Amino acid sequence: PQLDWPAEGAPAARLLSAEDDPRVRLVAALARDAVDFLSGPEREQLRACHAPRCVRYFIKSHGRQEWCRPSCGNRARVARHYERTRGAATGEGPPRREP
């Protein structure tokens, strides 16, 4: 790595690579960013999506966020509704409230 510290501006680190292949340089940059992220304070915000069958992870941006995308949130709510209504129809779930 090389630290560039211009007279005006913020310092920045960059990697110097003897490799000319841009694909190798891209993978190296991605690996460096992953290491920086996983070793930094932001790693505490990394969460697994709570939606059924979703294998994605996301950065939690606010306190109530549970899903990586809105469609995952919808899938989770639909699955909960299905379990409630199916259980109530067979007598296994919680009783349905009467209006």
pLDDT digits (tens, 9 = 90+) for 46-96: 999 988 889 999 999 888 889 999 999 998 899 889 988 986 666 665 555
Residue with tokens 């560039």: 4
What pTM was estimated for this model as a whole?
0.55
Token digits for 89? Answer: 């129809």
- What is the residue-wise DSSP string for 15-59? ---S---HHHHHHHHHHHHHHHHHTSGGGGGEEE--STT---EEE
Query: What's the pLDDT score for residue 58?
Result: 94
Q: Write down the pLDDT at residue 96.
A: 54
* Sequence-ordered list of residues with C-beta below 8 angstroms from that of 25, at least 6 positions apart, any chain: 15, 17, 19
